[in-house]
């Protein structure tokens, strides 16, 4: 079956540090890949996505590249801010009944950025 | 933000009682989903709907049922709540199957004592 393995947290960084959160996946076929972010007390928000191999998703300074050869989708940001403190989820998307998008999530990585 | 309202936002109930959580959307999206979030597990899919009266099971559907009688409402029912169903429940919606992203509500925190 499909699965997503994420770097375990929590991760604590100083402001302006470089961020990498590792994500690898196991899937049949050609899934789409996503990063979602969750702020305290809120639902998940889509951060970025990539739909095919070698695609790079980017948003708000975050980037991730869909690497089929290594089955990875690592999240990176060159200079984190305190406001980036949140939980980050990697997910893979497949199509199910009625063409519904079905997401399989990793366990999440808590990021804390200190001033 | 996608127009998704979950109710209630918090609920405490006793083991063995029935519980219904509601998800209401104002986006007229076809697809609706129920997930549960537990520490160390991320989010896991319970049930989803691809149209009025069209639903299917997800990864962790045992002990849950759903109904969708209108496009805008998707109900999740725990027929007889158990302590293992203590969790945060999220509803999500999506406009199209293809590469459309899911938009999530703010969650319902359910505690079963």
The structure tokens listed for A80 are 């984190």
Q: Give the sheet arrangement for strand A56-59, strand by strand.
A: A19-21, A75-77, A62-65, A56-59
A48 to chain B: closest CA residue = B101
The structure tokens listed for B12 are 């405490």
Q: Which helix (H) or strand (E) holds A4?
A: strand A3-6
The CA-CA-CA angle for residues B42, B36, A31, to 5°, reads 55
A45 pLDDT exceeds 60? yes
The pLDDT value given to residue B72: 97
Instruction: State chain B's mean pLDDT as an integer.
Output: 93
Please give the average per-residue pLDDT across B94-99, as a whole number.
70
Question: Mind listing the pLDDT tens digit for each residue in B54-79?
Answer: 999 999 999 999 999 999 999 999 99
Instruction: State chain A's mean pLDDT as an integer.
Output: 93
Cβ(A76)–Cβ(A62) under 8 Å? Answer: yes
Q: From residue A72, give the alpha-carbon distance in Å to each of A24, A33, A78.
A: 4, 9, 19
Name chain A contacts of B36, Cβ cutoff 8 Å.
Answer: none
> Least CB-CB distance to B100: which of A42, A98, A101?
A101
Question: Mind listing the pLDDT tens digit for each residue in A78-114?
Answer: 999 999 999 999 999 987 777 777 889 999 999 999 9
The pLDDT value given to residue B74: 98
A73 pLDDT exceeds 60? yes
Cβ(A94)–Cβ(A102) under 8 Å? Answer: yes
Residue B100 and residue A105: Cβ atoms within 8 Å? no
The pLDDT value given to residue A33: 94
Reported confidence tier of residue A40, pLDDT bands at 50, 70, 90? confident
User: Is A4 in CB contact (< 8 Å) with chain B?
Assistant: yes
Q: Which residues contact A108 (CB under 8 A, 6 or more apart)?
A: A6, A9, A38, A87, A88, A89, B42
Reported confidence tier of residue B22, pLDDT bands at 50, 70, 90? very high
CB atoms closer than 10 angstroms to residue A60: 12
Instruction: Tell me which of A4, A46, A101, A109 to substitute to probe the interface with B (most B C-beta atoms closer than 10 Å).
Output: A101
DSSP string, B21-76: EEEEESS--SEEEEEEEETTTEEEEEEEEEETTEEEE-TT-TTEEEEEEETTEEEE
Peptide bond into A10 cis (omega under 30): yes
A106 to chain B: closest CA residue = B42
């Amino acid at each position: 079956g499909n699965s997503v393995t994420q770097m375990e947290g929590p991760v604590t960084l100083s402001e302006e540090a470089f961020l990498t959160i590792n994500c690898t996946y196991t899937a049949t076929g050609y899934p789409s890949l996503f990063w979602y972010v969750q702020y305290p007390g809120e639902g998940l928000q889509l951060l970025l996505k990539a739909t095919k191999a070698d695609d790079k998703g980017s948003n708000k300074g975050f980037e991730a590249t869909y690497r089929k050869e290594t089955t990875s989708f690592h999240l990176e940001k060159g200079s984190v801010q305190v406001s980036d403190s949140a939980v980050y989820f990697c997910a893979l998307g497949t199509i199910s009944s009625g063409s519904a998008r079905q997401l399989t999530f990793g366990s999440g990585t808590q990021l804390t950025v200190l001033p | 933000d996608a127009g998704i309202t979950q109710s209630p936002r918090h609920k405490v109930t006793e083991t063995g009682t029935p519980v219904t959580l509601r998800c209401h959307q104002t986006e007229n999206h076809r697809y609706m989903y129920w997930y549960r979030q537990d520490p160390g597990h991320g989010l896991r899919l319970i049930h989803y709907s691809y149209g009025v009266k069209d639903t299917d099971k997800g990864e962790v559907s045992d002990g849950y049922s759903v109904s969708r009688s209108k496009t805008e409402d998707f109900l999740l029912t725990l027929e007889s709540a158990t302590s293992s169903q203590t969790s945060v429940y999220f509803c999500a919606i999506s406009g199209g199957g293809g590469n459309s992203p899911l938009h999530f509500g703010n969650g319902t925190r359910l505690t079963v004592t």
